[in-house]
Amino acid sequence: MNHIEARDLVKRFGKVSALNGLSLTVPTGSVFGLVGPNGAGKTTTLRIALGLLRPDGGSIAVLSEDPWENVRVRMELGVLHEKPVYPGDMSCRRFLRHVARIYGVGDAEKNMKRVLTLVGLEAASERRIKGLSAGMLQRLGIAQALIHEPPLIITDEPASNLDPIGRTELLDLVTALHKDHGVDFLISSHILPELSKVCDRLAIIDRGKVHAEGPLDDLLRRYKLNVYKVTSSDPKLMASALLKLQYVEQASVEADGALIKIREGHEKDLYRDVGEIAEEIEVTLYGVEARVTNLEELYRKVVKERG
């Protein structure tokens, strides 16, 4: 079952075409990243999925329903908009109580307390929303998105207004919610490193079209970024040994492995040679995997190849 299935979506704002036949499938059980530059059509796609915009062409099904026609689709979604806006004069608690009641959450007070604790906003629960910092506002946004325990949360540029610490905390929270509570995410962002930390599936979007879509590892293999992480008992020794191979262009050491970039077409050679080298230098080999070191590189490659 998929959370979202979009087919050939078209959306125009006057003379500007925001979406030009965008097709996308967001499966259940994933943290799905929608990546693209400003103006690529990410926000428009999300707003169509939320039933805020009506597409000019194509179709979209969110949990098998048309989000424009069926209000109840939004019962199953949590939403965190870019630069979220909430009633400024209200306290966090009062606002969350309203949201809980709109969703028909049983025992609103208890659930409100639960989400405030979960996002670390309990101490500020009586503060007026207009007095919150950007990070706290983002946490309130997550709290209101979580209060009805949705299976999918849609977020638009969730970390764009945050400082590096706030960004890290937010991404950790997303990871924890997915792993510990089973919440799936659809995250749009143009800040690529943050997506590489949390997403397991990705769609690269540009000029209103999806140019590539799939599991992150598949995309890396498909677009031959040729960056691999070799984990072993002695990463430093392994890195220096691998650098001697003719097709290895770069090698660096990370905490738990050696990161290498190889020339195109030598993937099989690497898998063959790495075992032999490990034996040679008497190092225990734990694994070899394609690795995102630079999502920008993947993005550039996809967009360049497709058009």
> Shortest distance, CB of residue 147 to another protein, whole angstroms?
9
- Residue placing its CB nearer to another protein in the complex, 130 or 236: 130
Taking Cα atoms as reference points, which of 289, 142, 273 lies closest to residue 216? Answer: 289
Contact 174, 146 (CB under 8 A): no
Stretch in the footprint of another protein (CB under 8 A) among 14-22, 94-102, 199-207, 260-268 = 94-102
Q: What residues contact 202, with CB distance under 8 A and at least 6 apart? A: 32, 33, 34, 35, 195, 212, 213, 214, 215, 216, 219
Taking Cα atoms as reference points, which of 189, 199, 217 lies closest to residue 34? Answer: 189
Q: Choose, by CB under 8 A, the member of 33, 41, 84, 158 that binds another protein.
A: 84
> Shortest distance, CB of residue 157 to another protein, whole angstroms?
13
Cα separation, 135 vs 126, in Å, equals: 16
Cα separation, 98 vs 75, in Å, equals: 14
Q: Choose, by CB under 8 A, the member of 26, 30, 36, 86 that binds another protein.
A: 86
Cα-to-chain-centroid distance, residue 27: 13
**Helix, strand or coil for residue 247?**
coil
- Residue placing its CB nearer to another protein in the complex, 50 or 259: 50
Within 143-182, the residues that bind another protein by CB under 8 A are: 148-149, 151, 180-182
Q: Choose, by CB under 8 A, the member of 89, 254, 280, 289 that binds another protein.
A: 89
> Shortest distance, CB of residue 135 to another protein, whole angstroms?
18
x/- letters, 33..72, toward another protein (CB under 8 A) = --------------x--xxxxx----------------xx
Cα separation, 100 vs 280, in Å, equals: 62
At position 25, the amino acid (one-letter code) is T
**Footprint of another protein (CB under 8 A):** 47, 50-54, 71-75, 77, 79, 81, 83-87, 89-90, 94, 98-99, 101-107, 110-111, 114, 148-149, 151, 180-183
